[in-house]
């Protein structure tokens, strides 16, 4: 299975200076006129540079990080460059509430990750953006599970749309998410294959307690994983099928 690596950073982990930015990074950042967009961009680049450096066993010194650039492809998907040369890795980025996540695969694959807040969503939001099957799943969920399930399905969609290199330019109802990979887990009792979704949606999750999901799109199936801690939902999907992401623990 495909190995994935996951790093999260917060605003509080950012260094005060910009020595870790390249000259072209600084130009791109300064061109962002909205303060929040600039802050999210800076946190995302810091997170991605650190993740790429860790996965490639490179120095995390600010001047070394300045040699790593994260540039948007024509599709908008982030790509890693070192000394102006493309790196044979795939990355995906997400931001939410002062937290950034970067997922890295050490090969060229289809990959998407997402962070999502667990919060109330209106009935009109669910009707407009979810498939009939997803709406039925949400309707059957208990009131206590509904917010978590809605966040999970929405986040899985976002991850899949990133893996497809379309983002929200594609109708979100063209992808259908399911929180449990029934084919791979049917009849099996092992970690990552829960027998009771209602219980797992409310269960506390540690760093390694990922649970399986899949997303259907035009005959393709993206396999992936999800977990939540507190009010934050995490999802990742990839093709080929990924193993549960490995959390990177880096020194400040």
- The strand pairing partners of 235, in sequence order, are 114, 226
- Is 194 in contact with 200 (CB distance < 8 Å)? yes
CATH number of 113-237: 3.90.470.20
pTM recorded for the entire structure: 0.90
Residue 84 has phi, psi (to 5 degrees) of: 70, 10
Q: Is the pLDDT of residue 130 over 80?
A: yes
- Domain 5-111 shares a fold with domain 113-237: yes
What residue spans define the domains of the chain? Answer: 5-111, 113-237
Percent of the chain beyond pLDDT 90? 82
Section 11-29 average pLDDT: 95
Q: Cis check for the bond before 240: say yes or no (omega within 30 of 0).
A: yes
Which residue do the tokens 């969609």 mark? 157
CATH architecture of 5-111: Alpha-Beta Complex (3.90)
- The strand pairing partners of 236, in sequence order, are 113, 225
- Is 231 in contact with 31 (CB distance < 8 Å)? no
How many other C-beta atoms can be found within 10 angstroms of the C-beta atom of residue 140?
Answer: 12
Strand order in the sheet with 211-217: 110-117, 232-239, 220-229, 211-217, 176-178
What's the pLDDT at 64?
95
Percent of the chain beyond pLDDT 70? 89
């Amino acid at each position: 299975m495909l190995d994935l690596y996951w790093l999260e950073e917060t605003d509080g982990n950012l260094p005060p200076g910009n020595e870790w930015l390249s000259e072209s990074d600084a130009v791109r950042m300064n061109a962002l006129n909205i303060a929040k967009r600039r802050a999210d961009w800076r946190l995302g680049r810091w997170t991605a540079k650190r993740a790429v450096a860790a996965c490639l066993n490179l120095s995390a010194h600010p001047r070394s990080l300045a040699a790593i650039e994260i540039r948007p492809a024509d599709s908008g998907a982030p790509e890693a460059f070192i000394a102006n040369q493309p790196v044979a890795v795939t990355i995906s980025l997400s931001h939410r509430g002062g937290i950034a996540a970067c997922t890295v695969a050490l090969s060229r694959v289809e990959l998407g990750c997402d962070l999502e807040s667990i919060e109330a969503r209106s009935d009109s939001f669910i009707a407009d953006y979810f498939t009939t099957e997803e709406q039925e799943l949400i309707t059957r969920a208990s009131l206590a599970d509904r917010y978590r399930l809605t966040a999970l399905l929405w986040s899985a969609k976002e991850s899949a749309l990133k893996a497809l290199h379309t983002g929200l330019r594609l109708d979100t109802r063209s992808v259908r998410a399911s929180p449990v990979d029934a084919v791979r887990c049917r009849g099996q009792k092992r970690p990552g294959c829960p027998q009771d979704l209602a219980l797992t949606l409310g269960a506390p999750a540690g760093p390694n307690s990922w649970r399986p999901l899949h997303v259907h799109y035009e005959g393709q199936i993206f396999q992936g994983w999800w977990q939540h801690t507190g009010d934050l939902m995490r999802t990742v999907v990839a093709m080929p099928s990924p193993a549960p992401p490995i959390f990177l623990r880096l020194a400040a």
